[in-house]
Structure 1
Amino acid sequence: MSIRKAGALILFLLVGAVYAQQKQITLEEIYDGTFRMQYLDRLHSMNNGKEYAVLNTDRNTGTKTLDVYSYKTGDKVSTLINSGEIEGLDYFIGYTLSDDESKALLSTNLRSIYRRSSLGVYYVYDLDSKKLTKVADEAIQEPTFSPDASKVAYGLNNNLFVKDLKTGTTTQVTIDGAKNKIINGITDWVYEEEFAFVRAFDWNADGTKLAYIRFDETEVPEFSMDVFGKELYPSQDVFKYPKAGETNATVSLHIYDLEDQNTKEVDLSGFQNYYIPRLEWTPDADVLAVQTTNRKQNDVNLLFVDGASAKAKLILSDTDDAYVDITDNLTFLDENEFLWTSEKDGWNHIYHYDQDGKLINQVTKGPWEVTSYYGYDAKNKRVFYQSSENGSINRGVYSVKLNGSDKKALSADSGTNSANFSTDFTYYINSFSDASTPYVFTLHSAKDGKLIRKIKDNQALKDQFSEYVISEKEFFTLSINGEELNAYMIKPKDFDASKKYPVFMTQYSGPGSQSVANSWGGGNDYWFQMLAQDGYIIVCVDPRGTGLKGRDFKKMTQNELGKYEVEDQIAAAQALGQRPYIDADRIGIWGWSYGGFMASNCIFQGADTFKMAIAVAPVTSWRFYDTIYTERYMTTPQENASGYDENSPISHVDKLKGKYLLVHGSADDNVHVQNTMRLIEALVQANKQFDWAIYPDKNHGIYGGNTRLHLYTKMTNFIKDNL
């Protein structure tokens, strides 16, 4: 044996020995908290701009403390709240400080309603007097301090109430609230899910008025779900859910004057007013800003409403041939000048307008996307934002002058950077992660991005991971259907290019989404590492219609959800199958929700490409899904029947050849189990064999107790048996 060969053999044996000594990730570890991450929980910048508050939990005693730290030194300055020292309160879950930081709203006994909404028992805690006041005896929704912290407005039984903290009296603002009929100040199901907000009321700057949206759901069709529970007879949950093409709630805008206790309705008849997706008072106590849009959601109006007369004026109209995204980026400057984000030049950017809606200038520009807007420093006239200008799979933090000049890269290392700025924009806390680095929290100067100190780095988790068999996540692009699609691959740690491996493709593929991102992945990434340990190559491809590559790339799937994305996933699988180390006869695909819709379509329409597929909680026909989301991308079924039906998995069941697992939660209020049941019936009538599982009383997330462990064990076994 030559010396070179002997050396190579020794190296191989050493590598093999090290590999053998490393641990294998297990499903039990993924879901029992073994890989727990450290975060800064409920981070809040204090008004002085020098300190920040973080909610801490003592895991031994269960005590919650709201502790204040110095930005500059990191030292703890004080403890604002200690649940162990509050008489009459054993614990609290979350907090909200009043604008003047004199009081805190503490939440207890929270019970989830839908994705973002909850009912809870709330207390006001006076930080000076240490006095504790219960807001209401019942479980309430969205309690919110008035600007001077003298009152709290909240929702209860579909009505709005205001509690005066000085007198202890409670005033009922609305009286017509009724379940499945009228909602005042709290969004209905579809607004909550698709416009991403729950509190549909807002205080004006001096606390004299409340603006709120009223939802009349009377004509909205009802959806019912059986709740099996533990009793002899099941119960039923009935709620209003407008499916594509059906009737939505009729919305109206109102202003309540606390002094004279009168309510005025705002006349919106002269504007696009089918939806009211945002409302907020400007810094001027007499001017309410409201965003409205048409049913197609391709014409968004920004209105200014006079608080006294309740008369509305059109300030800005943002239009698009496809749709206009609703965001929370609207920011008011002096004299009600404002900043607004728009895709009107083909990429999402920041624009500066005067109080009459006249464009002053485009603040950011370039072939990249502003992904988060952080705020405006009025003293230095600088705008802070996050963008993809350091690469579409990365995120960097930047600042720029209001006039668009003097741009600075503050935190733009390859990976994902996200910032939380101090109130006066002196500092920011940056959270950084990449595909191999769990979250690192560092303090920086907002002036130039200079590192001041490290706060938390999750080094313990990184060290823990070094004991396991972990493979690198490799990023690359695939030339598919005229586009360069972002992708990543995870190979087995002992990958041998002379062998052939099965491929398990993961994807979501929904409009504007991104699955291929240079960030720490969490739960599913641990699962993918576990599958790589077992000899699978994991691949993810973001197809046409996903985000961060400009308006045209994202919106090309308009009216055809499931057409181009499916073409791209099938073509990507076929291209991967050409690689010498990939077994083209052993390619599988999976996805959840939109990803389940895609996985189903791929195994049906790509029957000769995919050997197996798993679909969890899939949409199987967009006719079954809600109005706001579906019509944004597809218009109505009445207008676009072919787009709905030709791209529905139900229309392609006769093509199934491979192994298919279909999973759903029976209490999924979002993507109803009806989707799966209708697909099951179609597969049965086509005499196609497949596997399926229903998780009783589980929602769209399919979790609780051992549910996730059971689900991922089932999916893992299905992969091993069929791929």
Structure 2
Amino acid sequence: MTESYPRLAARTLRFTLGIPRNLTVSPDGATVRFIRTPDGVTRSGALWEYDVATGEESLLADPVDVLGGADEDLSPEERARRERSREGAGGLVSYDVDGTGRWACFPLSGRLFAIHLGAGAVRELPASGAVIDPRLDPTGRHVAYANAAGELRVVGVAGTDDRALVSPDSATQAWGRAEFIAAEEMDRFRGFWWAPDGRSLLVERYDDADVQVWHIADPANPDQPAVEQRYPAAGTTNSTVTLWHVGLDGEAPTEIVWDHEAFEYLARVDWSQGHDPVLQVISRDQRSSLVLEADPATGATRTLRELTDDAWVELSSAPRRDAQGRLVTLEDVADRRRVCLDGSPVSGDEWQVRSIVTIDEAGILTTASAEPTEVQLVRFGADGSAEVLTEGAAVHGAVAEGGTTVVVRHGLDSSSATISVHAGDATGAIRVLAEPAPFTPEVEIVHLGERDLRAAVLFPRDHVRGSRRLPLLMDPYGGPHAQRVLASGRMFLEAQWMADQGFCVVVADGRGTPGRGSAWEREIRDRFAEVTLQDQVDAVAAVAARFPDDIDPERVGITGWSYGGYLAALAVMARPDVFHAAVAGAPVTEWRLYDTCYTERYLGHPDEQPDVYDANSLLPLAPRLERPLMLIHGLADDNVVAAHTLRLSSALLAAGRPHTVLPLSGVTHMTPQEEVAENLKLIQMEFLRQQLA
């Protein structure tokens, strides 16, 4: 019996298993190391290396061998960390290599392991408590790690002298770990950074004492107590975050000092060879940010750059020094995200720079977009020159070191990835072992409406144009900081499967999504509901006009998850004239229940702008529902908690509006369980088929 696409997608983690990840290049450029599962359905990753000269791959550490066949045992803290990073795989999911290229280390089942890369010998190092995020010092002498008890500890690579460098003073403190907001909303998952000489570290300490306690219950198992979680909802108190210089010599740590009242968030930290550490802090309203240089000995800081924005300062790659000591930043200047040297832009008007890959004598290697749906590799020089290294309808990423560049390409012509290794004139490839997708999406990327919205249109693969008019299914995310319409076939596998069920599926990126400039992104400030919904309405009208013989505008559905779930529920309640049925998964329904950093960035503080929160809430719209709506929510979701769906359902019930609620017991914001993921998609599609028949 052939497996359904939803079951196969869940089993393969959307066809990502078997693709090399966490790629790093040794300082001399001779070796590429990476994590890869043995095939496209096994979730347990192993550590591999690729010899650039010979093209040979070697297995360095297999979790099955390391654990002797035992199952993994993860601490609650490690599970929470993986939930923040949306990590669905197992086995080795992270590792670190020292600056000499002699040692690597990794956590596995809460234990600490090191491997001598020359000899290939794996050893377990003594460690106290469940190990979190171990990292080697650049000289290869010590491993530092955080643990579930809130300590930051260090142990020699030979397995000697395991000791705590700093320990919490209370149960609400933790050293060496990123707090909830940093990991969930600022893409900072680290909590400590080694000095280049390996003799000291910068270490975050957070204290959740003043953060409100929420309780995540499991109604399916009433004999189990609710899990307590510190959750900083919009308008409430955040974690208290400080940064400390901690030496290996046992001396008392030195606090790195800045104005915490004015700049509440620690956003980025970098400590490059030959320079004092550079950090970026940002105000709670995120309209002001400082790039600071810290003196580790005294804790004093001085301002290198001050960034301001009337809406918000965008966080991207960490500010850092180049070899000449110039400060390299990504900044929004004249509606372009640009590479800046000491505040002066060196990337031109053609490019929206997305991230800094590496900085070396050849220039500043970046990912950048001229066309929003494509991501290329571009190297910028201090003189303003731009060398474009990739081309075509594809999304490219890279790592580079020591004259070797590894390029990861996802294109519209394939549903998998290719990974090429470039060193001088030689080119090699690292094997991709992903499970082949059962089909290749037939995607047409179009520009829609007066705002030139980027959208992907997919028809059933057996559809003959003009032969019949299909129901239209909108499948957006639609919110800020996430882009769905990219030139990558794998992005549209699920959309193609949904189309094959008898729909024209359209994925449209509206205002607020990345890649179109700062003005485009900031259109959604204070106006989530108005702006993001209008762009979906415009996309429906434009695509219906573009394909009049293939789309029935009287049968329009919409589905989405997270912000996409918010947008789907909003659409069917606010615009029943356009949208005739909706499936809303894990929707934010009341923004006062979502976290501080994300929500206040876009909607301000709820005490200062209550009318903005009211205007963007779904709860007041409940009496207007007249179309079929299915709400889906994981009851173990600790990001968009189930209270969002329950409160909307209560408001709908109070207004006498029929609707469907599908609670998912034990499911978080992700749905990795195969059976749940499969049946969930099948139920959604059956609901939409019935309502749009």
Q: TM-score, normalised by structure 1?
A: 0.86
Match of 1:6 in 2: none
Match of 1:175 in 2: 167
**Gap change, CA 1:621 and 1:367, over 3 Å in 2:** farther
**Gap change, CA 1:599 and 1:702, over 3 Å in 2:** same
> Which of 299, 314, 319 is the matching residue for 1:330?
319
What is the RMSD of the two structures over their aligned residues, measured on CA atoms? 2.8
Which aligned pairs between 1:273-292 and structure 2 lie closer than 5 A? 273-284=263-274, 287-292=276-281
Which aligned pairs between 1:689-700 and structure 2 lie closer than 5 A? 689-700=658-669
Q: Deviations over 1:436-489 (max 9, x none)?
A: 412342536477xx7834544789837x53xxxx66211111114xx1111121
Partner letter of residue 212 of structure 2?
P
Secondary structure, in 3 states, of the residue corresponding to 2:552? Answer: strand
> Which of 32, 49, 52 is the matching residue for 1:52?
32
**Is 1:364–2:339 an aligned residue pair?**
no
For residue 258 of structure 1, report the CA deviation from its aligned partner: 2.3
Secondary structure, in 3 states, of the residue corresponding to 1:247? Answer: coil
For residue 368 of structure 1, report the CA deviation from its aligned partner: 3.3
> Which of 410, 415, 427 is the matching residue for 2:389?
410
Q: Deviations over 1:509-543 (max 9, x none)?
A: 11132111111235xx3333233223211112111
> Which of 19, 23, 28 is the matching residue for 1:43?
23
**Gap change, CA 1:255 and 1:595, over 3 Å in 2:** same
For residue 73 of structure 1, report the CA deviation from its aligned partner: 4.3
Match of 1:252 in 2: 242
Q: Conserved in 2, the CA contact under 8 Å of 1:615 and 1:663?
A: yes
For residue 103 of structure 1, report the CA deviation from its aligned partner: 2.0
> Which of 528, 533, 551 is the matching residue for 1:561?
528
**Gap change, CA 1:693 and 1:278, over 3 Å in 2:** same
**Gap change, CA 1:301 and 1:53, over 3 Å in 2:** same
Question: Take 1:298 and 1:34, find their aligned partners in 2: how far apart are those partners?
Answer: 37
> Which of 560, 581, 603 is the matching residue for 2:550?
581
Match of 2:365 in 1: 384
Q: Conserved in 2, the CA contact under 8 Å of 1:177 and 1:184?
A: no
**Gap change, CA 1:537 and 1:54, over 3 Å in 2:** same
Which aligned pairs between 1:42-441 and structure 2 lie closer than 5 A? 42-58=22-38, 66-76=47-57, 80-81=60-61, 93-94=92-93, 95-109=95-109, 120-127=110-117, 130=121, 132-156=123-147, 157-165=149-157, 168-179=160-171, 181-228=172-219, 233-269=223-259, 272-284=262-274, 287-353=276-342, 359=343, 361-378=344-361, 380=362, 382-389=363-370, 391-405=371-385, 407-421=386-400, 423-425=401-403, 427-441=404-418
Partner letter of residue 669 of structure 1?
D
Partner letter of residue 50 of structure 1?
A
Question: Take 2:307 and 2:42, find their aligned partners in 1: how far apart are those partners?
Answer: 52
Secondary structure, in 3 states, of the residue corresponding to 2:253? Answer: strand
Match of 2:609 in 1: 640
Q: Conserved in 2, the CA contact under 8 Å of 1:190 and 1:241?
A: no
For residue 350 of structure 1, report the CA deviation from its aligned partner: 0.3
Alignment: residue pair count: 664
Match of 2:88 in 1: none
Match of 2:594 in 1: 625
For residue 33 of structure 1, report the CA deviation from its aligned partner: 4.2
**Gap change, CA 1:57 and 1:655, over 3 Å in 2:** closer
> Which of 568, 577, 581 is the matching residue for 1:612?
581
Q: Conserved in 1, the CA contact under 8 Å of 2:11 and 2:674?
A: no
**Gap change, CA 1:434 and 1:80, over 3 Å in 2:** closer
Question: Take 1:637 and 1:63, find their aligned partners in 2: how far apart are those partners?
Answer: 43
Which aligned pairs between 1:441-460 and structure 2 lie closer than 5 A? 441-443=418-420, 445=422, 452-456=427-431
Q: Deviations over 1:160-193 (max 9, x none)?
A: 22224457223322333433x2222212222221
**Gap change, CA 1:136 and 1:458, over 3 Å in 2:** closer
Match of 1:4 in 2: none
Partner letter of residue 562 of structure 1?
A
Q: Conserved in 2, the CA contact under 8 Å of 1:438 and 1:458?
A: no
Q: Conserved in 2, the CA contact under 8 Å of 1:367 and 1:550?
A: no
Secondary structure, in 3 states, of the residue corresponding to 1:178? Answer: coil
Question: Take 2:337 and 2:305, find their aligned partners in 1: how far apart are those partners?
Answer: 17
For residue 224 of structure 1, report the CA deviation from its aligned partner: 0.8
Question: Take 2:5 and 2:374, find their aligned partners in 1: how far apart are those partners?
Answer: 29
Secondary structure, in 3 states, of the residue corresponding to 2:415? Answer: strand
Q: Conserved in 1, the CA contact under 8 Å of 2:359 and 2:365?
A: yes
Partner letter of residue 92 of structure 2?
I
Q: Deviations over 1:292-342 (max 9, x none)?
A: 111111111011111111111111111111111222342321253221101
Question: Take 2:319 and 2:428, find their aligned partners in 1: how far apart are those partners?
Answer: 32
Question: Take 1:229 and 1:638, find their aligned partners in 2: how far apart are those partners?
Answer: 36
* Range with greater deviation from structure 2 (531-540 or 568-577): 568-577
Partner letter of residue 289 of structure 2?
V
Question: Take 2:671 and 2:15, find their aligned partners in 1: how far apart are those partners?
Answer: 20
Question: Take 1:408 and 1:484, find their aligned partners in 2: how far apart are those partners?
Answer: 28
Q: Conserved in 2, the CA contact under 8 Å of 1:506 and 1:590?
A: yes
Partner letter of residue 447 of structure 2?
T
> Which of 412, 436, 444 is the matching residue for 1:461?
436
For residue 617 of structure 1, report the CA deviation from its aligned partner: 0.2
Partner letter of residue 476 of structure 1?
V
Q: Deviations over 1:58-91 (max 9, x none)?
A: 5699997644333254234x55446687697979
- Which has the bigger relative contact order, CA under 8 A and spacing at least 6? 2
**Gap change, CA 1:177 and 1:403, over 3 Å in 2:** farther
Question: Take 1:302 and 1:328, find their aligned partners in 2: how far apart are those partners?
Answer: 12
Secondary structure, in 3 states, of the residue corresponding to 1:173? Answer: strand
Partner letter of residue 108 of structure 1?
L
Partner letter of residue 676 of structure 1?
T
**Gap change, CA 1:444 and 1:67, over 3 Å in 2:** closer
- % identical aligned pairs: 24
Secondary structure, in 3 states, of the residue corresponding to 1:546? Answer: coil
* Range with greater deviation from structure 2 (658-667 or 57-66): 57-66
For residue 631 of structure 1, report the CA deviation from its aligned partner: 0.6
Question: Take 2:170 and 2:125, find their aligned partners in 1: how far apart are those partners?
Answer: 24
Structure ID, larger Rg: 1
Q: Conserved in 2, the CA contact under 8 Å of 1:322 and 1:555?
A: yes
Secondary structure, in 3 states, of the residue corresponding to 1:416? Answer: strand
For residue 228 of structure 1, report the CA deviation from its aligned partner: 4.8
**Is 1:544–2:511 an aligned residue pair?**
yes
Q: TM-score, normalised by structure 2?
A: 0.89
> Which of 452, 460, 468 is the matching residue for 1:484?
452
Secondary structure, in 3 states, of the residue corresponding to 2:238? Answer: coil
* Range with greater deviation from structure 2 (273-282 or 502-511): 273-282
> Which of 485, 490, 498 is the matching residue for 1:516?
485
> Which of 465, 487, 506 is the matching residue for 1:496?
465
Gaps of 5+ in 1: 1-22, 110-119, 354-358
